[in-house]
């Protein structure tokens, strides 16, 4: 979808473990930061899209999540649309907000992504992940993972998936082993993704983890699912991220010059395509590039969905940064590191900034907006003019359930 929505302001909480801060307070902090950044007042907001994936299972707030969070902030009796697409919930909120502004239905729309995953009862947290697959088929999926683990001889994959870790890491581990088998990609290269993102995250005060790690340290960390060690897996976290999207007219009124614009936002489902058809990242990226009138070579900075280290490496290929199978080479060359040809996940990514699932898509937009505005401090990609975010959610069949690719430009 082509859009003309302008990002007037962004804001987010630090991602991490916020045991004493509830869903409402986290969400409110994100919204207040974005309102302040946009230079508007709460009463200017004409509609709100609120992305969250797991509050029903974690906090019991199954319904009207947005209304509960936004109440009492001075926002009018506006439409609040609660949207959900697993880890792509926030991108979905952003996508819809941009559509409404582009259509001229509203001039000022809030997009909020918020998630509270930590709970004193850890079973709740891990239980929430199983809600992002087809639960009627869950038994079959778990059985398949067990069989696969036995066949591959990977001990860790048979040890209580869904209890000590998200079953998604088993899926990512399979993806990693397949890439290693097919293209000769190495565990060192996957570790290189995590090391790079830890370097980026060490400069981001809103990142969950600030420690810079070497490839060796990443490899020496505890194994989660062969070949993924802990720093190759995104952590559990809490947090919120918000953006205020405005029309051209409102941007002028706010005195925004050189606005950051969401030029394209492509949301699609990953279901039901054959093994020979393009993956959903490719489909979304291809459409987004076309709508934005740019190619991979024009992108200055990327936030991609590194829920695991191999996921980032495979995204390089899916987004067209390199040919199939050459993702490892980009890591070896340092191309995606700050200072390289095309820096990826300057925020630290999901691996190090953190991944409060329903907040992630908008947190990507926060990082990219600030990059395009030249206010990323020591993480700044000099002269960044075009940026891309890729955010996927859930799994269904052999692909992500929901995928969103967004291109922003200044």
Q: Length of the chain, please?
A: 410
Structure tokens at 16: 């991490």
- Least distance in angstroms from the C-beta of 253 to a copy of itself: 22
How many Å from the N-terminal Cα to the C-terminal Cα in the chain?
Answer: 18
C-beta closer to a copy of itself: residue 255 or 274: 274
C-beta closer to a copy of itself: residue 34 or 53: 53
389: Cβ–Cβ under 8 A, 6 or more apart, which residues?
Answer: 91, 302, 303, 304, 361, 364, 365, 368, 404, 405, 406, 408
Question: Please, which residues bridge with residue 228 across strands?
Answer: 225
- Give which of 233, 236, 229, 228 is closest to 208, Cα–Cα: 236
C-beta closer to a copy of itself: residue 65 or 353: 65
Examine the residue annotation and report whether 355 is marked as an active-site residue of this protein.
yes
Examine the residue annotation and report whether 404 is marked as an active-site residue of this protein.
no
The Cα 269–Cα 396 span in angstroms is 9
C-beta closer to a copy of itself: residue 82 or 198: 82
- Least distance in angstroms from the C-beta of 57 to a copy of itself: 5
C-beta closer to a copy of itself: residue 77 or 375: 77
C-beta closer to a copy of itself: residue 71 or 324: 71
C-beta closer to a copy of itself: residue 86 or 228: 86
From the candidates 18, 87, 98, 305, which is the catalytic residue? 87
Sheet strands (E) in 211-294: 223-225, 228-229, 239-246, 261-269
- Least distance in angstroms from the C-beta of 268 to a copy of itself: 5
Alpha carbon separation from 75 to 47, 104, 108, 359 (Å, rounded) = 9, 20, 12, 21
- Least distance in angstroms from the C-beta of 291 to a copy of itself: 12
- Give which of 109, 231, 237 is closest to 169, Cα–Cα: 231
Alpha carbon separation from 148 to 25, 154, 173, 230, 349 (Å, rounded) = 42, 9, 11, 21, 29
77: Cβ–Cβ under 8 A, 6 or more apart, which residues?
Answer: none
- Least distance in angstroms from the C-beta of 131 to a copy of itself: 3
300: Cβ–Cβ under 8 A, 6 or more apart, which residues?
Answer: 342, 343, 371, 381, 383, 384, 385, 386, 387
The Cα 325–Cα 179 span in angstroms is 7
- Give which of 296, 338, 326, 362 is closest to 27, Cα–Cα: 362
The Cα 27–Cα 115 span in angstroms is 8
Residues engaged in binding a copy of itself (CB under 8 A): 1, 22-24, 53-54, 56-57, 59-65, 67-68, 70-72, 77-86, 89, 92, 95-96, 99-100, 102-105, 128, 130-136, 267-273, 280, 283, 393-394, 396-397, 401-402
C-beta closer to a copy of itself: residue 102 or 214: 102
- Least distance in angstroms from the C-beta of 386 to a copy of itself: 23
From the candidates 200, 304, 355, 404, which is the catalytic residue? 355
- Least distance in angstroms from the C-beta of 308 to a copy of itself: 18
Contact 390, 302 (CB under 8 A): yes
- Least distance in angstroms from the C-beta of 252 to a copy of itself: 22
228: Cβ–Cβ under 8 A, 6 or more apart, which residues?
Answer: 169, 172, 173, 176, 190, 308, 309, 310
Positions annotated as catalytic residues are: 87, 355
């Amino acid at each position: 979808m082509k859009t003309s929505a302008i990002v007037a302001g962004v804001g987010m909480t630090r991602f991490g473990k916020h045991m004493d801060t509830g869903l409402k307070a986290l969400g409110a902090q994100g919204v207040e930061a974005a309102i302040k950044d946009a230079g508007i007042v709460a009463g200017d907001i004409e509609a709100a899209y609120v992305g969250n994936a797991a509050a029903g299972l974690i906090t019991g707030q199954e319904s009207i999540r947005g209304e509960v969070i936004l109440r009492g902030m001075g926002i009018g009796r506006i439409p609040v649309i609660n949207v959900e697409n697993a880890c792509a919930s926030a991108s979905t909120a952003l996508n819809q907000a941009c559509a409404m502004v582009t259509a001229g239905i509203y001039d000022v729309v809030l997009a909020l992504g918020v998630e509270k995953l930590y709970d004193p009862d850890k079973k709740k947290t891990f239980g929430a992940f199983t809600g992002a697959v087809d639960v009627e088929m869950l038994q079959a999926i778990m059985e398949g993972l067990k069989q696969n683990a036995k066949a591959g001889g990977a001990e860790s994959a048979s040890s209580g998936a869904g209890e000590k870790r998200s079953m998604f890491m088993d899926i990512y581990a399979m993806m990693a082993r397949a890439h290693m088998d097919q293209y000769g990609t190495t565990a060192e290269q996957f570790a290189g993704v995590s090391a790079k993102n830890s370097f980026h995250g060490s400069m981001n005060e809103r990142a969950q983890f600030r420690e810079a790690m070497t490839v060796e340290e990443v490899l020496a960390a505890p194994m989660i699912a062969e070949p993924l060690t802990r720093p190759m897996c995104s952590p559990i976290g809490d947090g919120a991220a918000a953006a205020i999207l405005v029309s051209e007219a409102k941007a002028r009124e706010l005195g925004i010059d050189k606005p950051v614009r969401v030029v394209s936002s492509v949301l699609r489902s990953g279901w039901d395509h054959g093994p020979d058809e393009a993956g959903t990242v490719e489909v979304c990226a291809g459409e987004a590039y076309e709508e934005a009138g740019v190619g991979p070579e024009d992108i200055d900075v990327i936030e991609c969905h590194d829920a695991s280290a191999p996921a980032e490496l495979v995204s390089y290929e899916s987004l067209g940064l390199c040919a199939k199978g050459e993702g490892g080479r980009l890591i070896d060359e340092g191309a995606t590191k700050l200072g390289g040809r095309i820096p990826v996940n300057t925020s630290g990514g999901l691996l190090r900034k953190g991944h409060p699932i329903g907040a992630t898509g908008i947190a990507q937009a926060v990082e990219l907006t600030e990059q395009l505005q030249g206010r990323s401090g020591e993480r700044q990609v000099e002269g960044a003019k075009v940026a891309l975010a890729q955010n996927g959610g859930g799994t269904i069949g052999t692909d992500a359930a929901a995928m969103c690719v967004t291109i922003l430009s200044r």
